Chain A
């Protein structure tokens, strides 16, 4: 069964440089799938942080994709390389809590492919549903309150992470 018919919630982060007309192109899918598909355009994939990916899983996504520019084609030089490392870092974190790391996936586009964002999303939706719903989804009242929840502190308990120090994504699962 493909991911679309399996009713999975898909979240797609993508670099806006990939499709100049992304806002119009993604609407057909948004209409068709409603809240089951969420698109989050990024100015550059180098803007992504592991927290975005984790929060996406936490707020109901079953699969999270990050679509980045082809290697060497980042408008801001190394944004796509950074994105790759950050996704790997987040994968490590979810693996530690017992989730399949493949729930977060990097989609590297290739040079010269001119696919629009909806075509890419269609491809992703047509993939085989390898996992069921995300077990990490919030249950009970907190889960229902997801929509009402707007702003959450980014740094609960680890004040240094965002305030003064950049993440170190060198493969170690430590912040500093």
Chain B
């Protein structure tokens, strides 16, 4: 058995003050000048360590505060007012919520998994991934030692086309050549970012991290620069120009390449594989109502890997969009029905914001997935999308030190990897490859609703 995959983490401090959920709202006046001021009694010494970030005019008071409210409660004249920070409330949008963003920041900063206590106060179910619950039937004993100690849970996945059987010659030799396979130690690939400030340093951060994790980063053909050469074994080149313009020596050195779906996509694949037979070709195709038919067609024609993408909210870019998990489920089941599912690898992307989304999408039938916005959030992005409008990034992500950026993303991935282990441990699964398509290990809100309420309210 290969050694246990472990992602090394270390705390990586923020460059900017993070936006906190609570903060001082206003300072009252009328100090009584007590001999023992509550500010001096702060157990976290936040008032003594106070400083001001002049770029954002943010006070360390808010970010260092642990919300014990001793000062608020004990000041005899009630001079300190703390409350929900309005800036926090407007972070991101309806999908990339402040809770998701701050949880990603926490994971990227500390490398730890977010643990929330005090019970769950949220709604029973919600849209998208929140309408899905994973099985936890195996939590029958303390699992800590199991998952992180002696038990071996593999998160490796294989990308490429798989043979369903071997053809043997009369002399017993194998005559069906095995197609190339690429194995990655966790089912995550770093995707092209939907928006970002100038990408040079961001790409370096992603590549540095992909290299240290053993996974891949998708880089546009037009973004390839000579200084990325040392990362070539971890680059998936996304062909955004003419495939003929790719230098043959580059194709020969690549392990994976991504081409957009088109009429003659299989011809392009054949051309690329002629240059480098060991190359795994990924076909990037949008999710829509025709996607399952197209996936079936491409599988029949010999496609190796399909990258199914939705937008940043996990929705299809059509009028009546379906959420990614529904469509991936449909495609997976269609391929299963036709008996070809195991021949092909499905990578899904769009709207993956948390570790649980990763596990849920795999349950819906994806072999692996790619992530984008969480990578930016790991580097302190506030999902304000100013860069998309051509405004300078408020946290200067274009200026990140690649070593810092890569360490932040590594921390985030360590958090996600550990959560994936937790989820699989709770299900009693030992292989992420076996989790794929295991819909019996999850409950879907729509199914439950139908099961329970379908017979009610029927007239006549």
Q: Is B390 an interface residue (CB 8 A)?
A: yes
Cβ–Cβ contact B389 & A27, under 8 A: yes
| A168-B57 in contact given A34-B392, A44-B25 (Cβ < 8 Å) | no
Looking at the complex, which one of B37, B40, B56, B87 makes contact with A43 (CB distance below 8 Å)? B87
Q: Are A164 and B23 neighbours in the complex by a CB distance under 8 Å?
A: no
**0 or 1 for each of A46-67: is its CB under 8 Å from B? (1 = yes):** 1101011001101100000000
Does B243 lie at the interface of the complex (its beta carbon under 8 Å from any beta carbon of A)? no
* Chain A hits for B51, CB < 8 A: 151-154
Which one of B15, B57, B59 contacts A56 once the chains associate, using CB atoms below 8 Å?
Answer: B57
B27 to A, closest residue via Cβ? A46
Tally of contact residues, A, Cβ under 8 A: 46
Which of chain B's residues 43-89 have a Cβ closer than 8 Å to chain A? 47-48, 50-57, 59-60, 79, 81, 83, 85-87
Alpha-carbon separation in the docked complex, A17 to B83 (Å): 14
- Residue A149 interfacial (CB < 8 Å): yes
Contact B55 A150, beta carbon cutoff 8 Å? yes
Question: Does B220 belong to the interface (CB within 8 Å)?
Answer: no
Report the nearest A residue to B51, measured CB to CB: A151
Whether B87 and A149, one on each chain, are in contact in the complex, defined by CB atoms closer than 8 angstroms, is: no
Q: Determine whether the beta carbon of A166 is less than 8 Å from that of B389.
A: no
Whether the Cβ atoms of B54 and A154 lie closer than 8 Å is no
Interface size on B, residues (CB 8 A): 40
Contact between chains at A76 and B26 (CB < 8 Å): yes
Is B31 touching A59 in the complex (CB atoms < 8 A)? no
Residues of chain B within 8 A of A31, CB atoms compared: 389-391
A residues in contact with B53, CB < 8 Å = 150-151
Query: What residues on B are CB-neighbors of A41 within 8 Å?
Result: 86-87
> Residue of A at shortest CB range from B14?
A150
Tell whether, in the assembled complex, residue B386 and residue A27 are in contact, meaning their CB atoms are under 8 Å apart.
yes
List of B residues within 8 angstroms of A153 by Cβ: 50-51
Q: A40-B56, A46-B26 are in contact. Are A163 and B392 (CB under 8 A)?
A: no
The reply to whether B39 and A30 contact each other, CB–CB distance below 8 Å, is: no
B409: min CB distance to chain A, Å: 21
Q: Is the CB of B55 within 8 A of A164?
A: no
Question: Is B384 engaged at the interface, CB distance under 8 Å to the other chain?
Answer: yes
Whether the pair A164, B391 counts as a contact (CB closer than 8 A) is no
Q: Which residues in B have their C-beta under 8 angstroms from that of A58?
A: 54
A44-B25, A56-B54, A163-B40 known, 5 other contacts, Cβ within 8 Å: A31-B391, A43-B26, A47-B25, A82-B26, A82-B28
Q: List 21 A-B contacts (CB under 8 A).
A: A16-B86, A16-B87, A23-B384, A30-B391, A43-B86, A46-B25, A52-B57, A78-B28, A82-B27, A149-B54, A150-B53, A151-B53, A154-B50, A154-B51, A154-B52, A162-B47, A162-B50, A163-B47, A164-B40, A165-B37, A166-B29
